[in-house]
Structure 1
Amino acid sequence: MTEKAESGDTKINLSNQFLMAMPGMVGGNLAGTVIYVCEHSEKGALGLVINRPTDLTLSSLLEKIDLKLEIAPEGDSPVYFGGPVQTDRGFVLHAPPGSYSSSIRLGELALTTSRDVLEDTVAGHGPQQMLVTLGYAGWGAGQLENELAQNAWLSVEADTRIIFGVPPEDRYPAALKLLGIDPVMLAGVAGHA
């Protein structure tokens, strides 16, 4: 998705897209990740890793903030590593968007950072689908565009069925298949002609 800048340049907008880390190009704790880009502007980008569950369960997280979840299946849901920035802060990607005190609407999804979404979940009337993360992936102005120019990421329009309906370990290959790419065909080194 692109938008025309005033100077006539074409500018990339990756909001509501998946970023898939290219093997050998993205290292550290973002290697092998699929990131849902929540916001992307000239100021930078913010996204959540959607395929890296932690050992922490939703019920354990809720207990730490003095909430108790009575709905057993949701309680066993993992909390995800959302990225290396602010790993002590929770982010909830959910559908339907709803109206919570600190929600950003992202088309058919919303990103909420306030406790009220979790309180609704505990009360049994929270979002029908949600992914809870600790931390997020962030880029400063121009940083993501530079990484894209270096072939560090592939991008494709996000599909919520992958976020909520595909097991975490299968989300990377599922996102690549949206581009018609078999993960086996990816090389660990980028070349330039």
Structure 2
Amino acid sequence: MATSVQQKIRERGFLDGQFLIAMPSMFDANFARTVIFVCAHSEDGAMGFVLNRPQRLTFPDVLLHLQLLDPDEAIRLPSAAREFQIQAGGPVETGRGFVLHSDDYLSDSSIPVSDDICLTATLDIVKAISRGEGPIKATMLLGYAGWGPGQLENEISSNGWLTCPAREELIFSRDLDEKYDRALAMMGISSAMLSSDAGHA
């Protein structure tokens, strides 16, 4: 993991542990109808992970790419490892993998991002998952979403995002297609209620 990313995560901000839910006015196609889990927010910027974008790669694909697995060994992986979900975490550093996970797994490189959720971006957790020894709840994300100083605040004030406290069950849900509507429902909102002009007189 890049040092700058680690530094951002260590600095707790008021949006840490929050969901960002894209409004219809979101102009960036990368983030249309997305739900993002904010891992770090400070005066230097923010970073988080898109939670509802699929990734074509499978976990065995990742192990093969990292040379942690021979092609003929894939069939011997524990079923939980073969089916472990990989998602597209955002448009920044899309070749880099991050694992969001429950706090029952911790290594020297694990970073707490909320009371119950940790982030690990080193090979130790990948190896543990491949052996069936990883955290109870986890998802791997390739890439992340990042904002410069003041950028996210401006997008929120410009009606680009709704914010609400994150919920663990939504972070780790495997049903990506339902996450956007479920996140809105947490706020008592349906997507039909939203319009690109919401919040403006």
Q: After TM superposition, give the deviation of residue 26 of structure 1 in Å.
A: 3.6
Which residue number corresponds to residue 76 of structure 1? Answer: 83
Partner SS for 1:174:
helix
Distance 2:145 2:104 in 1: 21
TM-score, L = length of structure 2: 0.85
Return the structure number with greater strand share.
Answer: 1
Equivalents in 2 of 1:97, 1:82: separation in Å? 22
Q: Is the 8 A contact 1:44 1:142 kept in 2?
A: yes
Q: Per-residue CA shift, 1:131-171, capped at 9, x if unaligned?
A: 10110000111110010110100011000111123511111
Tell me the residue number matched to 1:169: 177
2: CA distance between counterparts of 1:23 and 1:105? 32
Matches within 5 A, 1:88-167: 88-96=95-103, 98-106=105-113, 107-165=115-173, 167=175
1:99 CA displacement: 2.1
Which amino acid counterpart does residue 175 of structure 1 have in structure 2?
A
Give the secondary-structure state (helix, strand or coil) at the position aligned to 2:37: strand
Distance, in Å, in 1 between the alignment partners of 2:130 and 2:37 is 25
How far apart in 1 are the matches of 2:17 and 2:104? 14
* Cα pair 2:87 2:140 within 8 Å, conserved: yes
2:44 alignment counterpart: 43
**Please, what TM-score do these two structures have when normalized by structure 1?**
0.88
Flag structure 2 segments of 5+ consecutive residues without an equivalent.
Answer: 1-12
Residue matched to 1:6: none
Count of matched residue pairs: 182
Task: Check conservation: 2:81, 2:130, Cα contact below 8 A.
Answer: no
Q: Which amino acid aligns with 1:100?
A: S
Who is 1:64 aligned against? 65
- For residue 23 of structure 1, report the CA deviation from its aligned partner: 1.2
The one-letter amino acid of 1:153's match is W
Aligned AA for 2:16? S
Name the amino acid aligned to 1:21: A
Task: Give the drift of 1:28.
Answer: 1.7
Identity level (%): 43
Query: Where do 5+ consecutive residues of structure 1 fail to align?
Result: 1-11
Q: CA RMSD in A?
A: 1.6
Runs of 4+ in 1 over 3 A off after TM superposition: none
